[in-house]
Structure formats: C-alpha cells, structure tokens
Structure 1
Amino acid sequence: MSKLCCVRTIRIAERPNLVWVELETDEGLTGLGESFRGAEAVEAVIHEQAAPWLLGRDSRRIEAISRHLTTPYVGFGAASAELRAASAVDIALWDLAGKRHGIPVHEALGGAARSEIRSYNTCAGYAYNSGNKGGGAAGRRDVAGDEAAVGPYDDQVAFMRDAGALAESLLAEGFTAMKIWPFDGYAASTGGQMIALADLKAGLEPFRKVRAAVGDRMELMAELHSLWSASAAERICRALEDVGVFWAEDPIGKMNDFGALADLRRRTRTPICGSETLGGAVSYRQMLEAQAVDIVMLDLAWCGGLTEGRKIAALAEAYARPLAPHDCTGPVTLMAGLHLALHAPTAIFQEVVRATLATWYRDLVTGLPVIRQGMAQAPTAPGLGTSLLPGVASRKDAVVREARG
C-alpha cells in the first residue's frame, strides 16, 4: 500500500494563474502536479472536494482515482476548475508512480516510442500568460506597436516587428518550427465576426517576412486563439494557404462546435489544429469522429492529466492524427507533456517557450527539458524528473494549504 497522507497546494502572487499540488505518501514519497488559470478556484476544489476523499487512498490506483475525480456531476464535462484540479492530482500520481519504481514517467506509461522529439518555439515573451489574472484573451499579453523588448527572448515583440530576424535567431539555436499570432489584435473591433482585407494583409506580413528571410527552413504555425467566427476564420485560413503554414490553431470561438470546425476544415487547405481548450477523452473522440481537425492538441493540466492524456493519444493514433502537447503555462505541465510526447506513437512536437525556459521556469523547479538542436531529450530521472525548488513554498508571496490524514 502507498497511502496518501498529505495533499498540499502552493500558489505564488508573482504567477497568479499557476497552482501546484504536492501529494505525500506514507512511504516518504512526494509527487508534483500543476494546473493553470483560475488557480484559487482549482485550489478550492482540491481542498474542499478532492483532498477529503484522497487522504488514506492507495496512490497506486491511478485509474480508479482518475475516474472518481473526473466523472461526478456538474462541472466535469469540460476544462473546468474541477477537471483542472483532477488534472493536477493525476499528474502528481504519475510522478509518484515513476518515483516508486525508479523510472521516468514515459517508461511508467508503457515505454517511449522515441528518445527525443522535435520542439517548436511559441513566440511569447517572458510573462505572456502567467503574470496576470484573467480568462481568455484578458489573460494574455497584447503588444503595442511601439513597445520595447524587455530581453533577448521577447519573441512576441520580435514577431510583430521583424519576424524574419526572429526566425533566423531561432534557426541559430536549432529550432526549425515557430508559432505566432499576428491576427489577434484585429479581432476586438468586430468581436471576431470579420477581418478587413487591410488587417488580413497586415496579419500575413510576419509570415511573409519569415519566408523571405529563411525560406522553407522554418515551419510556421498560426495561433488564432479562438477569437474568430467561422467565416472570419475561413478568410484567414484561406489566406494562410499561400505561406504554407503547418497548422492554424484553435481558429473558431467555440472549439467544441465540431460541426462548424469540420465545415471550416473542408473549406480550406490549411491544416486545422485543436484543441488545448477541450477536457476529457470523450470531447476528443467527438472531435475526431466529426473529422474536424488535422492535428490533435491537448493540455495535460486541463484535460484530466496523464490518465486522460494517454487515452486521447490512443484516440489520435486510432484516427491516424498527429499529437502535439501544449505548453505556454508552467514548467510541470511542460515536463508532463514531454513524457507523453515521448510515449505516444503519433506525437510530432512538444511546444516550448524559450523565454520562460531561460528565465522564470528555472526559478521554480529543479529540472527542465534538455533541448539539443531543437530536439527535446527524454528525461532519465524517476517520475517527471522535476520538483519545486525548496524555496518556492517559503516565499513571502506564497499561499500554502495542507490537508493531512
């Protein structure tokens, strides 16, 4: 038996969207999980609903715990606070499983399909998604035309100013794929219902600059952030056909409207990627049944953790769709996604943000992915291969809650 004897959550004011969960067992092991957005709500669910039931349970029964935490009544059909809480707990349980047996999580999942996986750089800055509260676009950084870069990896400013030079910088570091979102700023004026021709051409310009600077040596992904109506998304996706993007990600406002998404996919040659915003394997099955996407993206801190994640990966394999785990959130989710990407047969990319890898991720955890020439290497340490640094929980801005039993 490996009884859970402590459930601990940690938040810090500097990164208000992030919450970590540590699970301790009576054998002296600690597992680490993470979730993102609505951190206080996730924390409340963990302590008010999950912790009283978890304490005393056998931490080895990951599937049974996952089913209990992801199938109750209201709030569990999408990436809700309930499901994000379950995701954080599940990631921590898999970390425990690896540590218990002295093996990395990708081995605990059934073994790696590869020893490394290609990474792409999401061209965000140093605090794109984590330094402020808010849902949807309100939680993301908007770049003004005259905004100054705050460091060498302020890539969101860079892609709006000179995407070609940014692509050359990434190639010099070994990255051969990058993701940008120059259309976002044009959505607000119409609520995303349409995009004017002048704005469409302006949004295309960074893609054209990349092609002019580095040709076909760089794969390009277009992030649309669920900001657009189906008709506006169609106009954008058709325009992107000329620059050969690898995918257009989350193009429409409701990514669980699989009929509209499938119709968009039929109307454009641009491959459609979706969606980090979905929760649970059932949603992914419905999306794949509708033939709504070309590439499957998931976020392990939102979809139900590694237990649901490997089921989604199996669905992607069954439907012959490539898989791409998401990370523009936190270091633990990144490590969990990397383990799944190494394990899942159809995985093709692991998303990274070089700005956060080089800075504040390092201030929080003991281990991060090793990237060589754009390839993320398989971790070799037991479990996820990372833990919170000892000083995180004792920071002045930290909020720590514990339940013991």
Structure 2
Amino acid sequence: ERGAPVVLLDAGERPGGQYWRHAADTEPGGAYGGLWRRLRALTDAGRVDYRPGQQVWLVTREDDGGFRLETTPVHDGVEPLPGPVTAGKVVLCPGGADRQLPVPGWTLPGVVAAGGAQALLKGHGTVAGRQVLVAGTGPFLLPVATGLARAGARVVGVWEANSPLRWARHAPTVLRVPGKVAEAAGYAAALARHRIPYRTRTVVAEILGDDRVRAVRRAVLDGDGVPRSRPEEVEVDLVAFGWGFTPALELPLQLGVATRVDVDGSLVVAVDERQRTDVPGVFVAGEATGVGGATLSLAEGRIAGAAAAGRPEGGRRPRATVRAHRAFARAMHDAHPVPAGWHRWLTDDTLVCRCEEVPHAAVRAAHAQLGAGDARTVKMLTRVGMGWCQGRVCGYAAACLTATLDGRPPTEADLRGTAARPLAVPVSLAELAGPEEGPDRP
C-alpha cells in the first residue's frame, strides 16, 4: 500500500497464520476479514506476488547488499517456485511454536501441545480427545480449553502452574489494555458455563498409561515453584500442555542478527522502534521479537512494512499499540513464568530428547562426569537435540537443564546454540544438491 513491489512467501496454504487458522471453505470475518480482503485486492491488482505454501529454508545476503531466499513447497501438492527469490529488503515474520517441558510419561500417545490441539480444532474441526486436561501456564490455556469444550470434549480441568495473585503488581499495565481484560472475563465466563475447574499452582507430575494416556498424577507447587506430590490421579485420554512459546529464529540467525534474552527466558531478535535489526535491510516482526500476541504482531508488521518500503510513517496508533502490548507481554511473562523447580519432577529415565531417546540421567551424567557446562557440549556428548526435530521440541528444556546443573540461568549463548540451524525447514536432497536457477523476483 506504500508503492513497494512485494513478494509474500507464506508457509501456510491460506493467509492468516496460526492465530487465524481456518478451514478452507470458511470466509473470515472481523479484523482478519478486513486484512484478508485488502490482501486479495492487492494480489488481484498485481501489487503483491502472493505465494502460499512456500517455506523459506535458507536466506543469505548477497555481495550487492540484497538477499536471496531459497524456498521449498510445504508438501508435494504445492507447485515449487521456478527459482530463488531475490529482494533488496526482507521482513521476517517466522512466528514460533509451543514450548515443551518434559515430564514422566510425556512421550505417550495422547500427549500434545496446546497449540497442536487448537490447530486440529481450528483447521480440521477435529477434537483430539474426549476427556481432556489442559495444563501448563499462561493465558493461552484458556482459549484452548474453552474451544475444546465447545467442540464437545469433556475438559476435566485447566491446571495453571502459577498463582493469579502474580498479576496484582501489574494492574496499571493491564488496565491500559482493556481489550485483554474483557477477553479474560469472557474466558472466565466460558469456563464457568462449561463447568471446567480452574486450579492454580498445580502441575502434572506424571502421566500414566501403557500404550496411551490413561491418567495423570498432579502436584501442587510451593512458593518456590517446587512440586509437592499428592496421590490424586485424574483419568484422561488427552493432555494438552502449554508452557508458552519459543520463537522460531532459524532465518534471522542465518543472517547473523543480534539477539537478546526476553523476560520469559526466550531468545528473541533485537529490533529498534521501526523493527529494524542490526543487519541493514532486515526487519523482523511478530513473535520472533518477543512473544506478545496477535495484536502486537499486527502492529509490528505494519511498522516493519512501512519502514521496509522506505516510508516509515506507520502513524502514532501502531507505535502506541506496540508500547502498550509490549508492556502487557512483559507483565504476562512475569505473572506466568516456567516454574523454577520444574526439573524436580523429572526422574532419571524421563526422556529429555524424545527423538534420540536421551534420558534425564544422561544429561546429568554429561555435566557431572564429563564436565559439560553448556548446552552445546551436552548436545555433542549425549545427542540431545540431534534428532528429527533438531532441538525444536527439546532445545529450550535441554538448555535450561544444563544451566541449572551449572548453577546459573540460561545465557544468550546457550539459547543461540539450540536455536541456530543451517536449514530452517526440512528439504529434499535434490534441492540441496542443486537448486534450479530461474528468473529472479523483485
């Protein structure tokens, strides 16, 4: 809308990302509907070259200061692009994924990420279980639980690891974002309507079952976040865990941008007020700059797009939205931290890395017996994070465990070691052997 030629590479087959995920035959409404119609109009007018179903697996900076992006289709049914895409500037919006923490029994069928349960419901209308427990920490547990209940699942409870009293010190910040207060009230009403128990300072200490989930054993946390077991077992056939989100930083790190550790312990990209990184021509927006929700991501995207187009007059409203929602995000992360004593519920044989089947005992042995004091060394000695997911599932937990064993919090170097990958997504050997050359795009 500011006159710049744009190529939009979208890993989704429909616009909207994870937040506005919808079925193919559904026409979106509300705020997203307006954005969707604007994108369609710009695409029809030839001002946006929209390429859905395309994942960027490598981005490099050329000698002339421009950028080259290698892409791969999300599946065989999507037509590949004729060649790499080149651009003078790039705006990266890679999003993030559910943060996972290991717990005894978490590899059993019937244990999913909260975001995965929601994606199945939004995208396919599929309820992943009939008797469901939603557990972890953070506001995201609420829409997952209420969505599953509306779809017919019996949600036996929402187990929040923290106390709601942690919000009290952030009341002025919360009141500056009244939409969030109304949203929370709506979810509270939905929980009551569906008779979903909401327990605080409560975690899943163990998941029970043989060939799939049969029940969970709960524990109550003390003031230091250390679990105190209770013998109560709750029968479930699905556990949806939500421990916050981990930003996807493969593409920004390929370009060598500066990073920092955010309030929630995540590694994020450092940007200025125009969403610029320290690499000229590279802008980043959304969860990769700090997890803060859809409204914040939209405002950052608007600012980044205007700045990349050379007309950084994004207006006062987007900048004010970013300030208010970034402050709210900091309050949210402070109110919903990962429990300090979460590692206490691990047993020796609890798998930390499910891909390579690396148990907790192996991580501790690497530190105690082999002197591994950082996540990278533990990875080399135990193969944690070297399996199919390349650390996307276990990387954060492994870095935190290693730092805890070393008596310190995770550092930026620890987290970069688990987040940096030479390839952002899986690609075929044929693509690696020699990507076809084709006409470059603006």
Fold agreement, TM-score > 0.5: no
Taking structure 1 as the reference length, the TM-score comes to 0.30
User: Greater strand share, 1 or 2?
Assistant: 2
Q: Which is greater in Rg?
A: 2
Taking structure 2 as the reference length, the TM-score comes to 0.28
